[in-house]
Every structure is written in structure tokens, then in C-alpha cells.
Structure 1
Amino acid sequence: MKKKAIERIPYLGLKKKLRQKDAKYIGITAIRIVGHEKHLFLEMYRNAKNQTEPLVRVVLNKKEFGTYIPETGEWNRRKIMPDEYYDAYFIWETPGERGCTQKELEKQNILQNSEDLERIKKFCKGVEVWDSTKWWKYIYRYEQNISITARRKTEERRYERRQNALNDRISHTKELPEKKILETADSLYFHHAHYLYYKKRGCFAQIACSKCGGVMTDRWKEGISFESQLQCGIEEPREGKVGICPLCGAHGEYKCQGKVKGYHSKSIHLFLGQKYKDRGMVLRYIKVTKKWCLGMIGGENGPEMFNSSEELAGVEIARAYFEPGKKLQIDYHKYNWYDGKDFWDDCNLYGNANITIGEAPILKETYQEMEGTIFQYSALKEYTAAVREAVNPISYFERYQQTPQIEVLVKLGLIGVVKELIRYRYGIVTDQDARRPDKFLGIRKESVKQLIAAEGDPGILNTMQMEKRMQQVWTGEQIEHLTETGLGRGQIETAIRYMSLQKLLNRIEKYSGCEYGTKCSGAEQKIRSTATTYADYLNMRQSLGYDLNNTIYQHPRNLEEAHDEMVRESHKEEIDKRLNEVAIRFPDIQSRYRELRKKYFYEDDEYLIRPARSAEEIVMEGRTLHHCVGGDTYLRRHDRGESYILMLRDKKQPERPYITVEIDSRKSSIRQWYGAHDRKPDQKNMQRWLNQYLRQLEEQPAAMRTRTA
């Protein structure tokens, strides 16, 4: 649209005021030739005499439209009105005049005469409007058609560019060595697995081999007659045992015919990296499946084995393209349900059908293909060998492009640090532009060797960073022990105001009764729990105004009792009020204790579990362990019998809160369990213990459970 030429065209002007009292705005139209092309001009004036300058000038041609504001001299692409189904106002109206009904719009916004309406209809030929009195709809829908057409063309051009780029990537992608991939998968990951399906009938067994597909019947057990003793040809087939096919001699695993439902399969995902264009790299995500089928046919004695087979097949799921100076592009393999054909697309699916790319083994050919690419020195091979588990090379390359220091970190052996970076946990990085590992991670230079010896353990790293921020110098042993306690910076700073770090560590070890560095999960969890309790105790002592320079306060004889005393003293009035309140509101919890104890009590050599004795005990459990079990929600559930609060304790300290369990009353399943500060102490072992407890509830009657002393 030639905007400057349009601006030079004189305004049409409103010479006299119309007599219609309700009319506020009057529209005048004209056809003008601009750049050898017809243009429709619509100028809107206030209903007043001698209006020489319009409020707006709307200009249309076959392909474009524009709105000119004479007062500001600006052009815009706003339509004559917003979406006609939601807002009823025009671009020339003031904000205070908006929100009119359709009838009011007709009265307030009119054309100068019928010729203007005919001119609009003729120019907007092809636009359908049911009520011709709403003259503005001709222009609105004409503008709408122009916008939709332009949008479609833009989308078509964008789609065409994407398709051209997709076809270019496909054309420059090397051919997939399918046969080699299948052979490698069968050898390394499926281990050339074969199955021998069997069905016993007396002394005979029918065997079907998935390798050769043959089916035969032979004797596996000697009979009474002399001839039968000479007929034994095979060993007794047993489920899960390895045998030899009598026909082809292949080794296979015996599988009972009755346990096979047609077919069964195993799948594995693999990554194959290939060089792309000059220095780029494409990572191909492949799924390989091995399928074993058993053919059945109706026989005299029911279904009989007819044949057996095995099939190895693979499909490429996604391709990740890396090029210098370009963003990562992932293409996905999709299936068209309408024409039954596969195709590649440059975007993923949506919702639950989203295609995910997980961790998987990397084929060794990938490392050879990396030579001469931007990832030649990425240390992916060294990282994969160090972690000794499946990795996602796409995530690795993404992080390597963002943080090239990963190469040095891997070669130094800081695998734990690299794992954190690959998971996009960049909070461990202090200076992302630094080249030296100590500055990059924000630790003392002397600590790097210890971190390397710990293989970049994130816990050790966190302690070393804390040491640097606190401007402290700790020994290697102190760093390891402090990591084991799990204490935070604020807890440590509070403690070392009144004692040395070594004294703090010694007291935690003494209170816990466990030694540092045992690598025992139970001991580590005990140390961590004790450290939290001791730090919590010191913090409460300090907040209550006690002089912690007094060693009696620093080093109580019984930490648990001293901690509980501080909890009660810190919130004495609040706790007393709360305990009185819940005792009145939930008296049934105490009255039903004996009944619930018969059902839920259990103990072994290490732990015991029992229901809460009263509502007050539940509240104090939450206060002591600093979690939310003492809230009305849990008390109400326990009182109504929807779920019950159980106390899991160490048998050596049966009154010392350790873990709180909420169990569903209807189906004997654990809803949740937590220790101090909403953590799960010794999670694997305790989860195993609780699973055993649930089995005990289901299998054994209450009378057979161990009773308390």
C-alpha cells in the first residue's frame, strides 16, 4: 500500500451536519486510483458542521487495508472493529463510548447517504452480510478475509521453509546400517536368546525350538521296560533352565507352553551417532525388538505346538541434529493413520502421545564418527565408560555446547559434577566462564584433588563450596564427615560460634553412637538425623536466650530429652493450648487405642510400630519431628477412621519419635511416611521394612503377631 501517496489525497470533508439527533459519527466513502489500482476510502467525521479533518481514514484495496489517524499521522493494521461476536465498538470511538448494543451502533454510526452504502457493497463484492443496515460489517469482513489470506500465505511460506529444511536434513543423513545394528543388538543386548517351548505328557515331552522352528517329541524319562531305557533322548525340560534343541543343537531357555500367550518380546533402545555435513553430528535414536512366537494348532488332546519362530526388527524413532552455530533440531518418526505411511516431522506429538527420548546404550561406531566434528573433544566416550550405565548423548552434547568445561571435568574424573550439569543443575557452578575447576566450582584450589578422589560427589562439592563461602579452612577428613552430617551453612555457623568444628563433629558422632565413614546406610542416616537434632537444639537454646558458652548447655547428657525440653519451652503456651484443644475435640483417638493396637502393632529385632495413643501424642509427634502430622486434617482422619497415624520407633528408644506413618484404614496401604523435617531417613531399608509390615498385616492374624513386653 502506497501510504505517502494516500496521505497526499485531500480529505473528502463533511460540509453540513445531519439532522438525525442520535447520529454521532458520519461516514463518507469514495473510490480513488492510487498506483493504478482502485482503493476504497472511508472517512469518519463527527456529526458537526464544517468537519474538514476526519477522525480516521480507512483504506482498502484488493490485497491490503490500512487505517490512518490524521491527528497523529500514524498508520496501523487495526480492523474497523474488534471481533464482532465479543466487542461492539469502532476504532474511531472514545473509550467512554464503548460497550453499546447493536441498535445503538446503528443509530450512532451512519453513512452520509445511500450512495456510500452502494459504493461499499460494490467494492466489497463477495462478502455476505445478512443485514445490510450494518454497513460496517462489509468492511470488517473484507478486512478479515484479507488478514486470513495473508496469514495463510505466511503459514504456507513458513511450512515450506520447514519442509525444505527437513528434506535437506534427510538428504544429508547417512544411510542407517540396519543389518549391523540388528546383529549388534542381538549379540550384545539379547545375547542370541532362544527359547525351547515344551509340553510334558507322561515320560514324553514335545519341544518347539524358536531358532529352527522345528517341533519334535522325545522321551525324557526312563520307563519300566528294557526298550524304554534305551529310548531316552533328552533331559527333563524345566521352566527357566537352559537346554539344547534336539534338532539344531541351539542353546535355549525352556518355557512351558501353558505360560505362553501367543508371543512375547523384549526391546532395547540404542543411540547411533553419525557425522552430518561438514562438522555437524546427528544422533539417531533407535528401538530394537526381538519377538518370539509360538504357533498353536488344535489337536486331539487340545492345543498343540505347530511351530515356533523368532524375529528381530528395529525402528528409528528420532534424529537429533547438531550444527555449528545452530540450535538443536530434533526430527521425529511418525505414522499417518489415513494413508498408512511413515513420515518424518520436525516437531513432536502432544499430550500423552509425546515421543520421549531416554537414556540408552551408545553404539561404538558413534565415537569413530565424532572425529572431525564439533564434538571431537567432548569426552563422551570417557564419560560413558566412567558412569558404566546408559546415558543420553543428546543431553550431553547440549550441555557440552553450553559448557565446554565438561571435557576437562570428565577427564579429571569429576563424574558426579558432570552428571549434575547434564541434569541442568547449574546451581553448583560459581563462575561459568572460568577455565580452572576450582574457580568454576567455587572451591579452594587445595580441595580439587580430594574432589577428584571422590569422583566429583555433589555432597562433597557442596561442603567445599560452603567452606569457601564461609572463608574457612577444613581438613579433608572434616569435609567428609561434615558432608555425612548433611548440615547446612546456617546450622554450622550457629554451632561454630561456641565450639570448634571438630568438637561439633565429635559430639554428633558420640550422640549418634555410629562412626563416620562406615558406608552403612543405617549409620549414615543415624548420623544425619542426630546432626539435625543437635543443630535444632542449639538453635532453640540460642533463640531462648541461653548462654551457649556454658558447656552444660552445649553438651547435654541426653540429647533427645534436652531437645524435647527445648521444643516444649519454645512453644509452651502455644503447645499447652493446642494439646487441651485436641484432647477435647478428638477424645475417641485415645479411647480406641487398645482396639487399634491389636490390629496394627508389630515389632521385630530392630523396630516397632504402633498406633498413636492420643491426639496429644500426634500433635507432639509433629512438633518434635517438625512436620505437619499434628494438623487438624490428620487428626480428623484418624478420629473418623479414614486413616490412622502410626508411630515407628527404634526398639532401643521406644518413646523417641523416629518415623510417622499414615496408613489407609480400608485397604491396608501406606499413604505416606516421613521422619524429621519431612525427610525419609534410610529410605531404602525403611521402605523395605514397611513393605514387610504390610505383608504381615495381610497374611497373619492379630493373635499371631509378636506382642510387646
Structure 2
Amino acid sequence: MKRKTVMLTPPLLPSRKGKVITVQLADDILILNFYQDKKLDTRYCMNTQTHEYECYDPEENAWSQEKAAVIAAGHDRWGCYVSDLEKKWKWEPEEAYEIIDEQLKPLTKYGGMFHSIENLEYNYTSDKRQRKEERRRERLEQLMNSIPQEPKDFEKKILEAAVKEHYGFYVAKKKEYVCSYCGDATRPDGNTEGKLTCRGCGNEIIPKKRIKKVTKHTGAILMQPVNNKKSVCRYYDAVVTWQPGNESIETSEAIRVMPLKDGATISDHGKRRSCEIYYNQYYRSSIYGACTDNFDKGNPSNRRYVGGFLYPSGIRETLENTLYEPWVRLFEQMAAAGAEANYNKLMWMWPGEGIIQMTEYLLKGRYWNLLKESSEHIGYGRYYGPLLPEGKDIREVFGIHDLQKIHRIRERNGGEAMVVWMQWAEKTGGKLAEETLKWLIDSNIDPQNISGIPASIEKIKHYLIRQQKESYPKMKMKAVLEQWKDYLAGCVKLKKDMADDMITRPRELKRRHDEIMEEIRKQQMIEDIRRNRELAERKEKELQEKFPEAEKNLQEVKGIYEYQNETYRVIVPKKLTEIMLEGQALHHCAGATDRYYDRIQNRETYIFFLRRTEEPDTPYYTLEVEPGGTMRQHRTYLDEETGIEKIRGFLREWQKIIKKRLTQQEKELAKISKVKREENLEELRRKNNTRVLQGLLEDFMEAV
């Protein structure tokens, strides 16, 4: 923008007050002067050749890039409705539109002058962004092209590190196992459950009788110097495949992390970082049109850093003079040993936190699985596993003073789960058989999960295995344990004798679990009734005044409708507050609204309680019954219908008994209630309330 030319050109003054825009030219710059009551607010300038635009604020003596429509809307970028602005502003001189058309040659001439200018502004900024993006992509492609090619032996070295075992694949016709390493066939001698020795290469092979291929997903890391300002750590997804006579690896580069040298940093979302990160975009065309792997800052493919194996060359040259230089010696040792780890997370953690010392202990002690797992358990710059990185020696790092237990972890190639159990064994003095330890780890059970269970580890194991087989065949072992803990917590709540093995380890855990939970629910209902009784007493007078005949009506029919057999009984409540408490205990709507009380008042329906004969004070089912015994609704806890088939049989029996007791008045009321019921159902149909309508029709039991 030719700012000096604009500043040397005096603004054209308006001839009237109000909102006026004066149009003038200064060389190839079109100037729109925005006036408010003859006071200059802003000078908008657009280059007639390039359509570059800027605006000048005379009060602030400052330049900025603001659209003409935004200025016209009072500098409100969210309220600039272009179609409304034309009516609010006057243009001077009279030929202002002709000047703009001639100088700018807008692409469109509809929607007003602001709309035409806005199109030119959009095209200019769009082209500007496109050129900027092209320059950025060109710089990025040059940077990526400066990265060295992968070493020829890259995949070979990673494969050597990743292949820790070999497999033998069964050929049924020859009754032989073909070695994945050398391709020779070996005939088994008797048992093939463990390992065989290949007669061709002499390696131990793991027999696979039913499958013809084994795959393992892992990762690979390649470190390379780039120039004197940055280097690159290349992270790959890798798949190792074992087949008869062939062991191979396939890699796919996912992420490139470029550490900056000599203390340089970049800004990333307001934070300073010592590296640049680029993600594989997958077949996005480059600026030259080639469809290849393409790296950029976005991550649309959701690529992730994975643990894997480090290529042994180029480590020192890559990390020297970077923030990650303290890792050089240890990474070289880990790569030479073929250690699998999440190298990116290790680099992410600040070396001063003791992580290097801990990792070195694990490497030199050959705790391979523990090394891998501990490197994964790093996040936000800290380690969150069971080890102590700041420990002064191996005992403090492991939190175990018995070296035999520490050596046992190495012999078994145990991970963090085994460390936790060895820490538990030292703390409690408990002993763990090899089979039991394997079962605990495979079941994902840790000491915290079994805390408080009144049984030894062996008894816990045998009990859970049996219960999974007999009661929970579709559940995982840890889920069965949670069911047992729920049951034990219920026993404590009900004050059972926890020293009795018959109580703590019931033969049928599922049945006893459900019974205990039901017993607790019943106690909770009774407690809710007791707690809410004070509220009911305050509510009683209000209900009696509002529905003075309701309680009287219930007492009049008590002798007709109350009945019991050996299993169930129907109870007629004495007070309306009893209905309210029943609804609160069972968590349904009976008693929550005046609708049911009004029906009792008018003798359209009654509310009765269905209880188990042996538990007359425990809410079970609530019944809404018409005069004559026709059943409108029957609901239990949470508006459910648990055990309804058994209940229906009793209700049929009850209907037959009370039929003999009905008075003439009840029979007449039954006819009226039927009419009101039909009206209610018709209203529900008219309102298309299918859910309530379906529930009522399912509950309906007409008295025969």
C-alpha cells in the first residue's frame, strides 16, 4: 500500500451531515473517506490494480487491515450485514458509483457497492493466503528433502532386534513343523506343548499347529542428523510377520520429530518447544504433483508414537547439542542390546528426574519387559509407575529389599504388575507360587483389588476360578472379583459374621449376591419411609383438607378388598400419606401428584398395596384398582414389573375372591369408572402418547 501517497492527499470533504462516504483517487489508490456528521472516522484505501486494501484511523494515527463493510457497520465485524449498509450511507460526489466501477471493475454488480468491494477483498485475501501456503509448503518440502535416505540395512537391523523367538508351523500331511527362520522341517518327539529344536538351524521354535502366520505390531525409530541447526528422529509403525521359512518386517513412517540444536526453540500454541514435529499426511499431493508420503504439522491420520526398537547408528550425531543430549550414551547401549521401549516418552521426560538412572538399571539388569512398560508409563513429564526413579540403588528403585524377589522378576521377564506383587509379598510376608502369580497377572488383578478380602491368595484364586466357571462364565476374572467384593460389602453393611467362611465364600455367589443386594434395597426402602415420616406428618393435614372424603372412602372398602394367601396379601392404606411414602420408597409416581388422591376422592379408582405375606411392612407392588376389582396399573421399584407373572396369578385369585364381596354401590361405581377409563385412553391416543398408553394396556386386568 502506498501509504505516503495517501497521506499527502487531503480527504475530500462531504457536503452534508450524517453518514457520508466521499470517493477520490490518489494515483492508482481508490480512497473511501467515511464521515460521521462531517467528522472523518476512517480512510479506506484499495489499490485499483492488485486490490490490496488497508485503512487509516486519523484519530489513532494508525494503519490496519479492515474491510469496508466492517467500517460502515461501526467497526463491528459481527454486525456488518452488507444488504442493510447501503441504506445507511450516502455517497459523494454524484458520480461515486461510476468512479468505483471504472477503477475497480468489480466481479459482480448486484447487492450494492459494499457487496462488490467485499468480493474483491475476499479474492485478494484468498490469493494472499494461497501464495503464503504455497511458500510454506515449498519450504517444508525442501526441509523434508534435506532429510537423508533410510540406511539400506534399516529394516534388517530392526527385524533382528524385534525377532526374539522363532516359530514352527505344522504341516499336517507330513506331520512336521516348518521353521520360520530357516524353513527346515522338524518332526516332533511326543509332546509339542513347549518348544522344539529346529534340526536345520538349531534354534528353539515355538510350535504352532492351527495357524500359518504370526504377526506382532511394534515400532521402529531412526535418528539422523540433517544440518547444523536441526536433526530428525523418525518414528515408524512396524509389523513383524513369521511364516514358514520367512521372517519379515513392514514399516510405515508416522512422525518426524526434529530436535533443534544450540538451545534454539520455537513457539507452539504459546509454549516454547525445543523441537519441530511433523506427521505423515498420507498421499497428499506435493507442490510438484507427486503423490507420496507427505509430512506436515497437522495430524489428520491420527498417527501416534509407539514403543519399538532403535536403529543403532546416528544416535550421537542426532542428539548432540540438543536438549536430549543426556540420553546419547544410554540410547546407544539400548539400541545395541535391541531393547524395546517408547524412546519418545523417555526423551520427553526431563533427565534430571532420575529416569536415566532407572532406565540404565533396567537395561543392565536385563529387565526387558519392565523396561518397555516403564517407558510407556510416562506422561506430562513424569513417570507414574510402581518404580522409584530417584532411588539410590536397585533396591530403592524397585521398592524391594529382598534381592531374590528382584531376581525373580528378571528370571520371569516380569513387568510392572509383577513388581507390584513382589512389593506386596515383601510388605506382607506372603508367598506367591509361580502358577498363582501368573494367574494374578493374566487376570489383571493387583493387591489393591483383593484388599480386605478375608481369605488367602490361594483361596481367592480357587474360589474365583470356580465361581467364574459355575456362575459367571461370560465374565472376565476381574469382573467376577468385583461381584464378590460387592457381595462382601453388602455382608458388612448387614452386619453378617465375616469370620464364617460359609458367609464370605458362598457356594453360589451369584444367587447370594442378588439376595444380599435385594435385602439392602428393602432395608433402604424402610429407612426412607422412616426418614420421610416427619414430612408425611406435616403433609397429612394438607391432604385431609384437600381431599376430605378420600381416607373415608378407603376405610369403607377395606373389608371388600383386603385379602391374603400364603405368599401375598393386598392391604388397603389407612391414610393418604401412606400412599405418598409408598411412592417415595418404590420411586414411582403414586402419591407424587394429586391425580391419584383425586380419583380416590371421587371413587374412580383406589390405591392398594401388594406385599409379601412374610414381609407385610416392606413395600413391594403398588396397585391402582377400579371399583369392582379391575386392575389399571401394578408397579414395583422404579416403575418396573419384576416377577409380574407370579403376581398376575395371585391377582386373578384376588379378583375372584372379592367379586363375591362387592356391594351394589361398588358395582355401580365400576360402570362409571369404566367410562372414565375409556375417556382417559382416548385422550392418550389423541395426544399420541404411545409410551404411557402401551404401559396402561399391558397392566390392564379386567375383573371377570
TM-score, length of structure 1 as denominator length: 0.48
